[in-house]
Amino acid sequence: MEIKVLGPGCAKCKEAEKVVLEAVTESGVDATVEKVADFQQIASFGVFSTPAVVINGEVKVVGKVPSKTDVLSWLK
């Protein structure tokens, strides 16, 4: 599973990355988590408010920090 956390590096983007990493560890799913800070790449997903989380190319959340419960449900 390929997970991307989109965000240039503000507090909320770091929080989103933390939540995703925690959820991945907790679920034991085999996934790579990548932080994307490049605006060109962020825009190519059609995302224009950060943080956003993309799993296997599909945008799951835009403009807010997801809850751990949300992330766990996406990982299933």
Active site residues: 10, 13
Q: Is 4 in the site for another protein (CB under 8 A)?
A: no
Number of chain positions touching another protein (CB under 8 A): 34
Q: Is 1 in the site for another protein (CB under 8 A)?
A: no
Closest CA to 39 of 3, 65, 9, 8: 8
Is residue 2 within a helix (H) or strand (E), and if so which, with residue range? Answer: strand 2-6
Rounded to the nearest whole angstrom, what is the least distance from the CB of residue 33 to another protein in the complex?
17
Binding residues for another protein restricted to 13-32, rule: CB under 8 A: 13, 25-28
- Cis, bond preceding 66 (omega within 30 deg of 0): no
Q: Do residues 4 and 62 lie in contact, with contact meaning Cβ atoms separated by under 8 Å?
A: no
Q: What is the binding site for another protein (CB under 8 A)?
A: 7-13, 25-28, 39-40, 42-50, 58-63, 68-70, 72-73, 76
